[in-house]
Amino acid sequence: MTIDDLKSFMLVCRLHSFSTAAVELSMTQSALSKRLQAIQQEVGSELISTENRRQILITESGKVFYRYAQRIVSSYDELEQELKAYRELKKGNLQIGSVPVMSQYGLTKIINIFERSYPQIDIHLNELEGNDLLMVLKAGEIDAGIIRDIQTKTIDNNHFNSYTLDRDELKVVLPANDSLNNKKRISIEELANYQVISLESGSGIYEKMVEIYNNAGIPLNVGFKTTHIETIMGMIKNSDQITFLFKKSAMPFMNKQLVMLSLDQPIYSNLELICPRENQHKPALTKFIEYMKKYTSEPVESYP
pLDDT digit string (tens) for 243-274?
999 999 999 999 999 999 999 999 999 999 99
**Cβ distance 176 to 190 under 8 Å?**
no
Question: In this predicted structure, what is the pLDDT of residue 185?
Answer: 92
End-to-end CA distance of the chain: 45
Q: How far apart are CA 109 and CA 111, in angstroms?
A: 5
Measured in whole angstroms, the distance separating CA 144 from the mean position of its chain's CA atoms is: 8
> pLDDT of 153-191, one tens digit each?
778 888 899 999 999 999 999 999 999 988 889 999 999
**Residue whose C-alpha is closest to residue 100's, from 250, 209, 296, 261:** 250
- Find out if CATH 3.30.160.270 is the number for domain 3-89: no
CATH topology of domain 94-304: D-Maltodextrin-Binding Protein; domain 2 (3.40.190)
Question: In this predicted structure, what is the pLDDT of residue 196?
Answer: 95
> pLDDT of 290-303, one tens digit each?
999 988 875 544 44
**Cβ distance 121 to 89 under 8 Å?**
yes
Domain map of the chain by residue range?
3-89, 94-304
pTM: 0.67
Confidence check: pLDDT of 54 > 50: yes
Question: In this predicted structure, what is the pLDDT of residue 131?
Answer: 87
The mean per-residue pLDDT over the stretch 266-287 comes to 88
